[in-house]
Amino acid sequence: MFNRLTKYLDSIHDRDPAPRSRAEIMLYPGVWAMIFHRLAHWFYGGKLYFLARVVNHFSRFLTGIDIHPGAKIGHNLFIDHGFTVIGETAEIGDDVTIYQCVTLGGTNPTNGVAGKRHPTLADGVIVGSGAQILGPITVGLRARVGANAVVTDDVPEGATMVGMKARSTLVPVETWIREFIPYGTPCDDPCEPGNAKVVELEERLAQLSAEIEGLRSAQNALPGKAPVEAKRSGTED
């Protein structure tokens, strides 16, 4: 049991350089939320639902993290900072990272698999701050959900979801195989599809400016023509 706890704390340190020791990590609300959840889930599995809820409410009061006792959670879940809600039928794999203010929420069971109202997160998923993942959907292996994204459809393996409603962006393989990306967002690479359009428009603007300068130079070269100056924006005194 001690070895499992040590490995868990070390897995958090691998994803968060802030703590200086395992003892410091033990003060994290996400660690205590997981400790209480293991107990609450044990009560829940034994159909001691009231006791499970008592532990759940005490944990929420102490940590600010609300994990339903029925949620199934794998190894090494790291909830950074807290204020997260995880629903009853949510399922979370191993080595998942969830940042603050995330909701794994449910929808009407008639809209999805009967009895399954909350998302399933595969191994290695990273969920950015404020993201809302709603309904009985699956977030694929090592997928990333960017900050404040709203996800209501299945997420392919290795995809990065951004926006509201979230859409998938292409992720280079060298980014996909990286062990960990903080907040689930590869900030040093363009993740918005609109960036390509902006670059295209800037290139077109530069081309048009060059053509205008060429026409102005040709007009100034004609005999008997006064030099044409570029119009200045604004008013003159």
- Banded pLDDT at 235 (limits 50, 70, 90): very low
pLDDT of res. 214: 84
pLDDT of res. 184: 64
3-state secondary structure 125-165: CEECCCCEEECCCEECCCCEECCCCEECCCECCCCEEEECC
The number of beta carbons lying within 10 Å of the beta carbon of residue 205 is 10
pLDDT of res. 111: 60
Give the dihedral of Cα atoms 17, 20, 22, 23; nearest 10 deg: -140
* Greatest mean pLDDT range, 35-44, 102-111, 203-212: 35-44
The DSSP secondary structure of 83-125, one letter per residue, reads: --EE-TT-EE-SS-EE-TT-EEE---GGGSSTT--S-EE-TT-
User: Is 188's pLDDT higher than 80?
Assistant: no
pLDDT in tens, 64-114: 999 999 999 999 999 999 899 999 999 999 999 999 999 999 876 666 566
Global model pTM greater than 0.75: no
Asked if residue 47 lies in contact with residue 29, where contact means CB atoms within 8 angstroms, the answer is no
User: Is 190's pLDDT higher than 60?
Assistant: no
Distances (CA, A) of 39 to 80, 104, 210: 20, 20, 70
Displacement of CA 159 from its chain's centroid (Å): 11
What mean pLDDT do residues 105-129 have? 84
Residue, of 82 and 1, whose pLDDT is higher = 82
**What is d(CA 156, CA 122) in angstroms, rounded to the nearest whole number?**
11
Instruction: Kindly report the backbone phi and psi dihedral angles of residue 22, in degrees, each rounded to the nearest multiple of 5, phi listed first.
Output: -65, -35
User: Is 231's pLDDT higher than 90?
Assistant: no
pLDDT of res. 115: 83
